[in-house]
């Protein structure tokens, strides 16, 4: 019944018929996390067929192919639990991440404010460091609505001790610096560029999409005495290698603290990771996650045609995947080099709806296994 309801909603939207729940979203204060909150999202590290879509109003996003395999928990602990809490007196919350890394925040009724980070090797140079944003960055803001834009520039400053560094590092310098810092320049634009209906796991959400475009530049500064800071990044050979660009798309509901969906795109615009809200319906993904048994597993199944091919525990070699209809007519095939586990994707969206058989063959063309695949249409 839920599937029929979802299809009926999609039919109404695409046919132009009125649908009263489709309206612009304004983020409410209840969508801002508070101290003690735990946010849960499913994570798909290899999304298939997901695209952010166009900007503008009255959009429809169908993310039916999303397939998370584990749950990510984000716990906003009281700041006092952090080892570096004294370095962030205005913080009231801390996220304690892997490898001892800590992110400090100030959470208010209207904003989530990023203050800085601390911990073991947060920037991959092998030191225990603490970095503070100057000025702090707003990570999420209530009352944001379609068409609004928030531009921010901040420097994440990591002071370094000269004694931590080898003397040879400054051998070619015309002077001996007495202070050195690592500076990560962050230029961020959040633009609420779209709104509409999002379909996921037979659920329908009214959402506001916020596109985050971010450029970070890692630089090294030194100073001596009363002279100002000098950027010496080029001397250390950092240059453009220290520049990273990213686009992230947040699909927000009016009230949920978690984004309904978060899409992370690479510099070419390809979605490389998708996180989505964890609830009773989406948690069903954990019960159909890829099993450990050897062979080939295709997800989602049933599918609209964009699928993930998951090779599990295979001997090193070349393998062929063949897809046939129920009459035995070959419809698609491709060869892959696999050593143990491999995940890739296939576009079968040109297939007619119906039942198909997919087979995994070894390099001698012996069939290892055959399973059923169902192609459907919204």
User: How crowded is residue 214: how many other Cβ atoms within 10 Å of its Cβ?
Assistant: 16
* pLDDT value of residue 19: 43
Q: What is the pLDDT of residues 311-355, one digit of tens each?
A: 888 999 999 999 999 888 999 999 999 888 887 888 888 999 999
Sign of CA dihedral 224, 229, 232, 236: positive
Please, where are the H alpha helices in 241-319?
284-287
Locate the domains of the chain by residue range: 2-277, 290-375
pTM over the 0.85 mark: no
Residue 303's Cβ-side half-sphere holds a number of Cα atoms within 13 Å equal to 25
* pLDDT value of residue 351: 92
Q: How confident is the model at residue 129 (pLDDT cuts 50, 70, 90)?
A: confident
Q: What is the pLDDT of residues 201-253, one digit of tens each?
A: 889 999 999 999 999 998 889 888 888 998 888 776 666 657 889 999 999 99
- DSSP per-residue codes, 153-198: EEEEEEEE-GGGS-GGGGTT-SS--SEEEEEEEEEEEEEEEEEEEE
Query: Does domain 290-375 sit in CATH 3.40.50.300?
Result: no
Q: What is the pLDDT of residues 39-70, one digit of tens each?
A: 999 888 778 778 999 999 999 999 987 877 77
């Amino acid at each position: 019944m839920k599937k029929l309801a979802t299809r009926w909603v999609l039919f109404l939207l695409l046919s132009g018929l009125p649908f009263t729940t489709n309206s612009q979203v304004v983020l409410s204060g209840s969508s801002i996390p508070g101290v003690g909150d735990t946010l849960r999202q499913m994570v798909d590290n290899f999304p298939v067929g997901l695209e952010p879509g166009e900007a503008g109003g009255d959009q429809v996003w169908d993310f039916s192919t999303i397939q998370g395999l584990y749950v990510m928990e984000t716990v906003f602990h009281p700041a006092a639990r952090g080892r570096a809490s004294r370095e962030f007196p205005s913080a009231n919350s801390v996220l304690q991440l892997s490898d001892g890394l800590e992110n400090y925040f100030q959470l208010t009724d209207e904003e989530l404010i990023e203050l800085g980070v601390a911990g073991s090797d947060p920037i991959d140079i092998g030191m225990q460091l603490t970095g503070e944003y100057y000025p702090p960055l707003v990570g999420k803001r209530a009352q944001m609505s379609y068409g609004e834009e928030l531009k921010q520039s901040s420097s994440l400053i990591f002071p370094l001790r000269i004694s931590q560094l080898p003397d040879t590092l400054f051998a070619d310098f015309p002077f001996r610096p007495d202070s050195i810092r690592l500076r990560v320049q962050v230029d961020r634009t959040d633009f609420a560029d779209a709104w509409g209906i999002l379909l996921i796991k037979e659920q329908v959400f009214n959402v506001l999409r916020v596109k985050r475009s971010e450029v970070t530049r890692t630089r090294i500064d030194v100073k001596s005495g009363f002279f100002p800071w000098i950027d010496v990044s080029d001397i250390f050979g950092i240059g453009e290698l220290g520049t990273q660009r990213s686009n992230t798309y947040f699909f927000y509901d009016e009230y949920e603290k978690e984004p309904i969906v978060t899409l992370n795109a690479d510099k070419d615009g390809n979605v490389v990771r998708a996180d989505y809200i964890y609830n009773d319906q989406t948690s069903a993904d954990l019960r159909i996650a890829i099993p450990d048994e050897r062979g080939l597993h295709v997800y989602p199944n049933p599918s609209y045609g964009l699928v993930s091919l998951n090779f599990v525990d295979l001997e090193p070699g070349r393998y062929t995947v063949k897809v046939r209809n129920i009459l035995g007519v070959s419809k698609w095939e491709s060869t892959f080099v696999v050593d143990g586990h491999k995940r890739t994707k296939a576009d079968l969206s040109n297939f007619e709806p119906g039942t198909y058989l997919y087979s995994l063959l070894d390099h001698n063309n012996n069939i290892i296994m055959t399973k059923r695949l169902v192609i459907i249409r919204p």
